[in-house]
Amino acid sequence: MTDPVEILRSARAAVLHDWPSEDVPHALVHAGLDVTFQGGPDPDDLYVMRLVDGRPETSPVTALPERADIVYSHRPAAELPGLLAEAQRLGAATLWHQSGRNEDGEKDPTGVFLTPSEAEHMAALAHAAGVAFVSAPYIVAAAAAARSR
């Protein structure tokens, strides 16, 4: 499955590695996912955000979940091999990478631009790891569409 909205509709848990704004974890939670992330400088600063009575609630956790459907990354492309290894450990079917760049190569919090060679290289690495690769659309937009479950 490579349709981003369908990926989000079928997902129940995501692990985030950085994000450009609070819109990302909130959009995913409102789309029905439990979202685990590192919320501080120490490796043990782990949290899970869930929807409770219609509102996002964040609680500390002691470890990553045993399983996640999506690993989301707003990190440099050089970190992709480690992120793919984590996706495999978590049984994640999808690595969703956001570049944070627009088509002019400038920083853009909603930017998803990759050059064709970057996209091809990243997709090939993900495919070799048995993980689907998604880089567009902006995950917040896809999560809004997925909310209409």
Question: What's the gap between Cα 27 and its chain centre?
Answer: 11
Nearest to 84 by CA among 102, 96, 99, 74: 96
Residue 133 lies in a domain: yes
Residue 11 lies in a domain: yes
pLDDT single digits (tens) 65-91: 999 999 999 999 999 999 999 999 999
Compute the distance between CA of residue 85 and CA of residue 7 in angstroms, rounded to an integer: 20
Residue 41 lies in a domain: no
Is pLDDT at 23 greater than 70 in this prediction?
Answer: yes
Q: What is the DSSP letter of 126?
A: H
CATH of the domain at 102: 3.40.50
The range of the structural domain enclosing residue 10 comes to 4-23+65-146
Is pLDDT at 1 greater than 80 in this prediction?
Answer: no
Is pLDDT at 41 greater than 90 in this prediction?
Answer: no
**How far separated are the first and last CA of the chain, in Å rounded?**
17
Count of domains observed in the chain: 1
Q: Indicate the average pLDDT of the chain.
A: 94
